Homo-oligomer: A and B are copies of this chain.
Amino acid sequence: MDRHFTEPLRERGVRITPQRAFIWQALASSDDHFTAEELWERVRAVLPGLEISTVYRSLEALAGAGLVVESRVGEGPRIFEARSAPHPHLVCEKCGRISHLDSAAGGRILGALEAESEGFETHELHIFATGVCADCAEGTE
């Protein structure tokens, strides 16, 4: 395992185990988001004995350390991703694809929100829109 991936865990006081390191690697080396089950499948490729309960417990540890954030997108399942600046998620109702807006957009929205919500100290901002993505709109109209 590359130190590049274990270092963040050490820094944050997360005990390093192969399970956690590979789960973190899967998350940190992609700007995508994954369900617990997707992570399980991916990491089992390198750690065949991995249990789904360990995935959940590792995600809890990583989230507690602030490395991972959990979201829910509409009626969909829990998804996990490496923490980054807040960015809106766009969920296509037709193809199910989830795309991200860049975090500049998230920052502007966060600014607008904070201006509106005086007295509330925002830690985490979650934004998602459901609708129809450009590709699917083309296809059907």
Residues in chain A within 8 A of chain B (CB atoms): 70, 72, 74-75, 78, 88, 90, 92-93, 99, 101-102, 105, 108-109, 112-113, 116-134, 137
Contact = CB atoms under 8 A, between A and B. Distances in A.
Contacts of A74: 70, 72, 124, 126
Contact of A113 (B70, B92, B105, B122): B105
7 closest A-B pairs by CB: A119-B134, A72-B72, A105-B116, A122-B131, A124-B130, A123-B131, A122-B129
Report copies per complex.
2
A100 to B, nearest CB: 10
Given A70-B75, A117-B129, A118-B134, 18 more contacts: A72-B74, A74-B124, A74-B126, A92-B120, A93-B123, A105-B113, A105-B116, A105-B117, A109-B113, A119-B133, A119-B137, A120-B131, A121-B137, A123-B129, A123-B132, A125-B127, A126-B128, A126-B129
Contacts of A92: 120
Nearest to A105: B116
A124 B129 contact: yes
Contacts of A113: 88, 101, 105, 109, 127, 129
Contact of A127 (B102, B127, B134): B127
A125 B129 contact: yes
Nearest to A108: B112
